Structure 1
């Protein structure tokens, strides 16, 4: 392979991600991946013997990118000495604005019958990277773990679910109202 030139395996995974983001798992075929990647069908199958293995590779890449992004985000917020609610909300907004993560949620929540235990475990790893980042942010601010479930549920409802399904958007859930709710919950019980 030439230095600086992406591998065919990488091109195939990138092409598949683009298609999964637009059409979901069911709506993406190997033939479409072949066209999008500009490689032959045997090349795709020699690197990924099935669409399921291709999806697993894409999901692994999403997990790696997400972990790196979240680590950088936490470090940035620590250095800026951000207040708890500001960092918490920024983490959720960052998480919920990534097209690749939104595609993973839509696929795994919308088509769960298509996936093996290994696929489900990979998706759980993706969510675990968010959970661990949020728990780290709570620890930095000495926020009790007992608040995690409520904070997580409120934030998922406010930030993630409207991005996955825009019809669920609740205009009452503004950044200001979420900030006030988070601040009152944390101050009330700490």
Structure 2
């Protein structure tokens, strides 16, 4: 492989990711991936013998990208000495800003009957990245974990659910709700 050129496997995974984001799991076919990636069908199948294996690769790449992204965001928040509440909100805003993560939720929640334990495990690993960063953010301020799940629930309702439904944010004062839960 020439230096600087993406691998065929990488091109295929990127093309599939774009298609999964737009069309979901059910709406994406290997034929579409072939066209989008600009490779032959045998090339796709030699790298990914099934659509499930292709989705697994997309999830693994998303997990790696998300980990880098959340690490960078958390570091930036710490360096800027962001308050707990503002940092918590910024982490959630970062989480829902990714069209790929939102697509992963839609596929996982909406098409779960087509997925195996492997894909469910990978999705769980993706979500655990957020939970780990939120937990670390809470611990950095030496706050009690007693309301951690309430904080997550409020944030899911305020950030994730509107992003999934493409609706406007809920009419709640998220900052006040979060601040009230950490007192």
Q: Same fold (TM over 0.5)?
A: yes
Q: Structure 1 regions of 5+ residues with no counterpart?
A: none
Q: Distance in 1 between matches of 2:107 and 2:51?
A: 13
Q: Which residue of 2 aligns with 1:47?
A: 47
Q: Which residue of 1 aligns with 2:179?
A: 183
Q: CA deviation at 1:170?
A: 5.2
Asked if 1:9 corresponds to 2:5, the answer is: no
Runs of 4+ that moved beyond 2 A: none
Q: Distance in 2 between matches of 1:25 and 1:133?
A: 28
Q: Secondary structure at 1:94's aligned position in 2? A: helix
Asked if 1:172 corresponds to 2:174, the answer is: no
Aligned-residue CA RMSD in angstroms? 0.9
Q: CA deviation at 1:171?
A: 4.0
Q: Distance in 2 between matches of 1:183 and 1:117?
A: 37
Q: Distance in 2 between matches of 1:140 and 1:75?
A: 12
Residue correspondences, number: 183
Q: Which residue of 2 aligns with 1:83?
A: 83
Q: Which residue of 1 aligns with 2:112?
A: 112
TM-score, normalised relative to structure 2: 0.98
TM-score, normalised relative to structure 1: 0.94
Q: Distance in 2 between matches of 1:184 and 1:23?
A: 40
Q: Which residue of 1 aligns with 2:26?
A: 26
Q: CA deviation at 1:94?
A: 0.4
Q: Which residue of 2 aligns with 1:69?
A: 69
CA deviations on 1:24-52 (whole Å, 9 max, x unpaired) are 00000000000000000000000000000
Q: Which residue of 2 aligns with 1:92?
A: 92
Q: Distance in 2 between matches of 1:17 and 1:162?
A: 22
Q: Secondary structure at 2:12's aligned position in 1? A: helix
Q: Structure 2 regions of 5+ residues with no counterpart?
A: none
Q: Which residue of 2 aligns with 1:102?
A: 102
CA deviations on 1:1-34 (whole Å, 9 max, x unpaired) are 0000000000000000000000000000000000
Q: Secondary structure at 1:39's aligned position in 2? A: coil
